[in-house]
């Protein structure tokens, strides 16, 4: 199979390369991105073969650093310090990409006013295996084909007209894998409490969630229709569903989970603005 990023135009700088940015980069490298055209600025990120690794922006700049594409992947609270050092290198030929929670396109445009384009991307960790989902919104003279070439190897891409819903999307899809992992972990723990071994409980829970999601993705039916195919009146499944559905408690719980994550994203954005 041809690797989609062998001919990606330009050079790429990652400012911050933690779990999410690192997952994206590893996927891009697997898809043919030339490591010689990539640089990382991160004092603690694991080194990657063939990629220039710098502990600071000053070190990158001293090495003659320049880039056509810059992706911000550090903590949102660091935006002020990073922008002060980096903005002079982000001119009208540079695409600025950001995966920073809570940092809006308007914030990015204010910090990096000379960039050719500002692109806000909200991926999730399943990008590591090409099964993620990335919401994207942009301002400026965006090279849409090149942005699409970067995002397609990560999984499904959802273009947004603007970034007004990004705080919710951050909670919904960006944080979502952690919530799903916790649900699987809790499901397995419940099985263990009721008599399964910890190994069997986790294996069965993982397979049950994985198979159910795969079936839903492959089906034209809504979740409720598939529920009805499993449950029968007065049966074992319905007995469990009665507990889950009582008083709308499950929807209420998930609403509170998403609200808390969304609101924290907004708080982080406010902190980043205050510390500029």
CATH number for 59: 3.40.50.720
Tokens representing residue 233 in the block: 């009146």
Task: Give the chain's mean pLDDT.
Answer: 94
- Quote the pLDDT of residue 267: 87
Would you state the torsion angle of the CA atoms of residues 9, 11, 17, 22, taken in this order, to the nearest 10 degrees? 30
Are 184 and 253 contained in the same domain? yes
Are 116 and 143 contained in the same domain? yes
Tokens representing residue 175 in the block: 């944080």
Tokens representing residue 22 in the block: 């690192």
Are 51 and 112 contained in the same domain? yes
**Model confidence pLDDT, tens digit, residues 120-170:** 999 999 999 999 999 999 999 999 999 999 999 999 999 999 999 998 998
Residue 254's domain is classified under what CATH number? 1.10.3730.10
- Quote the pLDDT of residue 92: 95
Are 100 and 183 contained in the same domain? no
Q: Is residue 265 very low, low, confident or very high in pLDDT (cuts 50, 70, 90)?
A: confident
Mean pLDDT, to the nearest integer, of 35-48? 94
Boundary residue ending a domain (134, 162, 190): 162
d(CA 213, CA 207): 10
Task: For the chain, list the strands marked E by DSSP.
Answer: 12-15, 38-41, 52-54, 69-72, 95-98, 117-122, 132-140, 155-159
Q: Is residue 275 very low, low, confident or very high in pLDDT (cuts 50, 70, 90)?
A: low
Answer whether residue 273 shows pLDDT above 90.
no
Decide if 153 contacts 5 (C-beta within 8 A): yes
Are 139 and 222 contained in the same domain? no
Answer whether residue 3 shows pLDDT above 90.
no
Mean pLDDT, to the nearest integer, of 232-244? 96
Are 187 and 137 contained in the same domain? no
Lowest mean pLDDT among 117-121, 236-240, 260-264: 260-264
Q: What percent of the chain has pLDDT over 90?
A: 87
Give the number of domains in the chain. 2
Answer whether residue 178 shows pLDDT above 70.
yes
Are 182 and 218 contained in the same domain? yes
Q: What percent of the chain has pLDDT over 70?
A: 99
Q: Which domain holds residue 259?
A: 176-266
Beta 52-54 vs 69-72: how paired, if at all?
unpaired
Answer whether residue 62 shows pLDDT above 70.
yes
Are 143 and 182 contained in the same domain? no
d(CA 117, CA 120): 10
Are 110 and 222 contained in the same domain? no
- Quote the pLDDT of residue 276: 57
Phi-psi region of 2 (alpha: psi -120 to 50; beta: other; left: phi over 0): beta
Would you state the torsion angle of the CA atoms of residues 32, 17, 76, 56, taken in this order, to the nearest 10 degrees? -120
In a domain, 223, yes or no: yes
Answer whether residue 174 shows pLDDT above 60.
yes
d(CA 72, CA 16): 6
Tokens representing residue 167 in the block: 């705080």
Question: What is the pTM assigned to this prediction?
Answer: 0.85
Are 54 and 136 contained in the same domain? yes
Are 153 and 181 contained in the same domain? no
**Model confidence pLDDT, tens digit, residues 181-219:** 999 999 999 999 999 999 999 999 999 999 999 999 999
């Amino acid at each position: 199979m041809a690797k989609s990023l062998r001919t990606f135009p330009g050079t790429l700088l990652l400012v911050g390369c933690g779990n999410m940015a690192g997952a994206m980069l590893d996927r891009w490298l697997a898809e043919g991105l030339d490591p010689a055209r990539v640089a990382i600025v991160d004092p603690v990120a694991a080194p990657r073969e063939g990629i220039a690794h710098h502990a600071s922006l000053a070190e990158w700049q001293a090495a003659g650093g320049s880039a056509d594409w810059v992706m911000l992947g550090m903590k949102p609270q660091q935006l002020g310090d990073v922008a002060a050092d980096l903005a002079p290198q982000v001119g009208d030929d540079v695409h600025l990409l950001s995966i920073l929670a809570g940092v809006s396109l308007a914030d990015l445009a204010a910090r990096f006013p000379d960039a050719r384009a500002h692109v806000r991307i909200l991926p999730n960790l399943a990008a590591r295996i090409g099964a993620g989902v990335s919401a994207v919104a942009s301002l400026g003279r965006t090279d849409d084909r090149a942005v699409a070439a970067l995002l397609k190897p990560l999984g499904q891409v959802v273009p947004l007209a603007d970034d007004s819903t990004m705080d919710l999307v951050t909670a919904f899809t960006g944080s979502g894998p952690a919530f799903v992992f916790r649900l699987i972990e809790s499901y397995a723990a419940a099985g263990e409490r009721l008599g399964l071994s910890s190994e069997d409980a986790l294996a069965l829970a993982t397979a049950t969630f994985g198979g159910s999601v795969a079936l839903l993705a492959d089906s034209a039916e809504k979740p409720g229709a598939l529920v009805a195919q499993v449950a029968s009146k007065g049966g074992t499944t319905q007995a469990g569903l009665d507990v889950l559905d009582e008083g709308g408690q499950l929807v209420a719980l998930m609403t509170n989970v998403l609200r808390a994550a969304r609101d924290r994203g907004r708080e982080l954005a406010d902190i980043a603005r205050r510390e500029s």
